[in-house]
């Protein structure tokens, strides 16, 4: 009886369905036929369901991308927005990865030449090393040219904050950088710069002075609107030996690549107090990114315009360059080789070298004398 009542209730529901009212086949109302239809049955709204296809997709796929389901109309707008945002992020990440891969494969800075990996930019090689391959650079204009027609706002020498004195250490290139930085520091402090002294080389016993290499008159005249420069220590300062030897006259705590503000906060008060101060050491003691732009332009003017070699040095340089140019294409061209293997460089590097026992003992003594603190840390502690 229970089965009979159940069948009749199903039949009554089927007879009231639209298909039944429309004169459909009676077999279509059978529950057995309905459950095994190819569409897998209808849902409550009359739309076809696909349970087999839904089971093939993982759950996380339906959670992240609901509008890829069988019924995108039923997906809420909020889920649609989230899914579209995720797809957009994935697309951007894919494009970035593809761009990086293409750049890596087509990078112009790595190539192999005779089995050696070299930095080889893709540029058209000029027929001669003296021809500029980048023709566009010929239209460039220097940004550090001397001011023309400007009025100097520098105070007289006796009204500046004081005098700055430095020793330019190292080789010629390091000395050149130190001179440029000395002019810049004098400008920052509104001080008078005493003509820098080239430190005597302890190895080669070189006694070359500033005036033996550079044109002093041109140096002072070119910078007359920027910095006050004098040739020597003022006569009123009698104890000249005190500079660089007395702690009362020497600033020794300047860090490498110091900012302009460091000089204003730490060096300027001592210059105002003592009137003359020596800065030691002074190798790379002024930064580039932490100073005003006009100070960097001033350094460029010093480097490319104010520092001018003496005529006899320029003539020698022109002669050497002319000889090298004339031998271009010759089977026996010139080659410049700087081994950098000298006593000072080997000692400063604190690297071991192939030498006799006697040479190593002498080098240890030399290092202990020139760099006692570093020698103590390297050899005694290590």
Lowest mean pLDDT among 56-65, 118-127, 155-164, 235-244: 118-127
Give the contacts of 308 (CB within 8 A, at least 6 positions apart).
214, 215, 218, 219
Query: What pLDDT sits at residue 104?
Result: 58
In contact, 194 and 116? CB cutoff 8 Å: no
Separation of alpha carbons 163 and 272, rounded Å: 9
DSSP classification of residue 316: H
Q: Which residues pair with 279 in a beta bridge?
A: 166, 251
| Per-residue pLDDT tens over the stretch 183-235 | 999 999 999 999 999 987 666 677 889 999 999 999 999 999 999 999 999 98
Q: Which of 189, 154, 156, 158 is nearest to 295 (CA)?
A: 189
Query: What pLDDT sits at residue 309?
Result: 95
Residue tagged 């005036």 (tokens): 211
DSSP classification of residue 199: P
Q: The pTM is what?
A: 0.57
The β-bridge relationship of strands 229-230 and 197-198 is unpaired
| Per-residue pLDDT tens over the stretch 252-291 | 889 999 999 999 999 999 999 999 999 988 888 999 988 8
- What is the percentage of the chain residues whose pLDDT exceeds 70? 60
| Per-residue pLDDT tens over the stretch 170-183 | 888 889 999 999 99
Query: DSSP string of 255-306?
Result: PTT--HHHIIIIIHHHHHHHSEEEE---TT-S-STTS-HHHHHHHHHIIIII
Q: pLDDT higher for 116 or 91?
A: 91
Residue tagged 């081994």 (tokens): 339
Lowest mean pLDDT among 67-71, 124-128, 341-345, 356-360: 67-71
Q: pLDDT higher for 238 or 315?
A: 315
Query: What pLDDT sits at residue 143?
Result: 63
| Strands in the chain per DSSP E | 111-113, 116-118, 163-168, 192-194, 197-198, 229-230, 250-251, 276-279
């Amino acid at each position: 009886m229970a089965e009979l009542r159940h069948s009749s209730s199903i039949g009554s529901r089927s007879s009231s369905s639209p298909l039944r009212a429309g004169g459909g086949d009676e077999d279509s109302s059978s529950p057995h036929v309905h459950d095994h239809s190819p569409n897998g049955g209808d849902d409550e709204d009359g739309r076809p369901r696909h349970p087999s296809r839904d089971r093939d997709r993982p759950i996380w796929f339906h959670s992240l991308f609901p509008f890829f389901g069988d019924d995108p109309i039923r997906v809420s707008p909020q889920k649609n927005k989230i899914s579209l945002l995720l797809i957009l992020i994935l697309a951007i990440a894919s494009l970035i990865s593809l761009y990086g891969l293409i750049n890596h494969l087509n990078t112009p800075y790595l190539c192999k030449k005779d089995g050696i990996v070299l930095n080889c930019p893709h540029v058209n090689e000029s027929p001669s090393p003296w021809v500029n391959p980048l023709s566009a650079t010929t239209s460039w204009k220097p940004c550090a040219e001397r001011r023309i027609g400007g009025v100097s706002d520098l105070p007289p020498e006796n009204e500046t904050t004081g005098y700055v004195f430095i020793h330019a250490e190292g080789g010629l290139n390091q000395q050149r950088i130190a001179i440029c930085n000395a002019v810049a520091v004098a400008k920052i402090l509104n001080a008078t710069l005493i003509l820098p002294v080239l430190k005597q080389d302890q190895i080669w016993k070189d006694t070359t002075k500033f005036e033996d290499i550079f044109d002093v008159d041109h140096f002072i005249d070119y910078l007359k609107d920027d910095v006050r420069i004098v040739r020597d220590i003022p006569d009123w300062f009698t104890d000249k030996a005190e500079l660089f030897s007395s702690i009362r006259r020497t600033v020794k705590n300047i860090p490498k690549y110091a900012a302009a503000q460091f000089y204003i906060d730490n060096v300027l008060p001592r210059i105002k107090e003592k009137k003359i101060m020596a800065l030691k050491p002074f190798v790379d003691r002024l930064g580039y990114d932490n100073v005003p732009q006009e100070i960097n332009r001033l350094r460029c003017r010093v480097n490319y315009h104010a520092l001018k070699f003496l005529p006899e040095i320029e003539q020698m340089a022109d002669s050497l360059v002319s000889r090298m140019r004339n031998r271009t294409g010759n089977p026996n061209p010139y080659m410049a080789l700087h081994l950098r293997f000298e006593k000072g460089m080997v000692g400063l590097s604190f690297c071991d070298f192939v030498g006799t026992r006697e040479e190593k003992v002498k080098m240890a003594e030399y290092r202990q004398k020139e760099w006692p603190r570093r020698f103590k840390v390297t050899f005694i502690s290590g």
